[in-house]
């Protein structure tokens, strides 16, 4: 996202506690301030020192299984910390926010593809924490001179086209990197969490979106807010659903390697099927995804080979 902003002539400022982030990924000559959203003074300092026009809020705990076992962490880090940010924005009259939300706000959908006006019934504390923030933002926008765009990500994947930036989590919980780590000898096997879901092959179906397409959506959202678009919510996905087994098969084709797979038990809080309709984003932001699953996997493989 930083590289996309720089290419468009913006001057981004990074605020991160580096608990899961990597300072190595920050481009040279980009302002970086180490701080924590849980500490109000840290946020106030950045807004007092630097004139900020808009905020893109990416910081959150984002593991469904962890949220089931440690919900308080998710309400503290995702909701309380966000309120600190919001208070500072209002105090310093920063009126534009782009919020990273999630398809987890929908829960088990009644229909697919999912549209933005479908019911919100999250099945885990992670999704509930994100939905709480969405509702807080909506209340603030209705009360103050404040506008926002909330972007509900589906499964973001892939790496920068250069191969120099990619997914780097500890532990790694995302499907595509874990498939590639098995293929690359970093892990012995891929565990699929349940094959008894009500889907054609029994494994969960998800909608995958390329990281570069996601960044373009943020740029378009920023442009829209700067041009006066009213506050809104948009899905970001590609409208196609792939089961876990289908993603494994696609990866095996791209990298010409077999992957050792083991079926495990279901994880709590996993809906069977999540597929986005992105028609609203296409109509209102002029956005649509350009990369298919093959390109996503290929980019992730270049990154995986580089780091191992």
Catalytic residues, which ones? 126
Contact (CB, 8 A) for 47 and 92: yes
Sign, Cα dihedral of 160, 165, 169, 172: positive
Residues 90, 141 contacting (CB under 8 angstroms): no
Phi/psi at 36 (5° precision)? -130, 130
Helix pair 125-143, 81-91: axis angle to 10 deg? 20
- Using alpha carbons, list the distances in angstroms from residue 37 to 11, 26, 82: 21, 19, 7
Do residues 300 and 212 touch, judged by C-beta distance below 8 A? Answer: no
Rounded to the nearest 10 degrees, the angle between the axes of helix 293-307 and helix 244-255 is: 60
Helix, strand, coil % in the chain, rounded to nearest 5:
40, 20, 40
């Amino acid at each position: 996202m930083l590289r996309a902003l720089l290419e468009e002539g913006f001057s981004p400022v990074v605020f991160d506690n580096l608990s899961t982030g990597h300072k190595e990924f920050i481009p040279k000559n980009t302002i970086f301030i180490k701080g924590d959203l849980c500490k109000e003074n840290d946020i106030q300092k950045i807004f007092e020192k630097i004139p900020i026009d808009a905020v893109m809020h990416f910081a959150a705990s984002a593991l469904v299984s962890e949220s089931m076992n440690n919900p308080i962490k998710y309400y503290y880090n995702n909701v309380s910390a966000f309120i600190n940010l919001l208070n500072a924005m209002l105090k310093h009259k920063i009126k534009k926010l782009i919020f990273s939300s999630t398809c987890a706000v929908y829960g088990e959908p009644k229909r697919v593809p999912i549209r933005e006006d479908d019911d919100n019934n999250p099945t885990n504390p992670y999704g509930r924490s994100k939905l709480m923030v969405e509702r807080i933002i909506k209340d603030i926008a209705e009360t103050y001179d404040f506008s926002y765009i909330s972007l509900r990500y589906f499964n973001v994947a892939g790496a920068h086209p250069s191969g120099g930036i990619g997914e780097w989590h500890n532990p790694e919980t995302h499907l595509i990197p874990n498939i590639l780590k098995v293929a690359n000898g970093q892990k012995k096997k891929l565990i699929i969490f349940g094959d008894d879901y009500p889907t054609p092959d029994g494994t969960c179906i998800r909608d995958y979106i390329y990281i570069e397409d996601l960044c373009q959506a943020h740029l378009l959202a920023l442009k829209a807010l700067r041009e006066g678009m009213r506050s809104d919510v948009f899905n970001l996905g590609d409208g196609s659903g792939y089961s876990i087994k289908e993603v494994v098969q696609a990866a095996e084709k791209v990298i010409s390697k077999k992957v050792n797979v083991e079926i495990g038990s279901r994880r709590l809080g996993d809906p069977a099927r999540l597929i986005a309709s992105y028609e609203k984003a296409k109509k209102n932001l002029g956005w649509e995804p350009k990369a298919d699953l093959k390109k996503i996997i290929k980019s992730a493989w270049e990154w995986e080979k580089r780091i191992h």
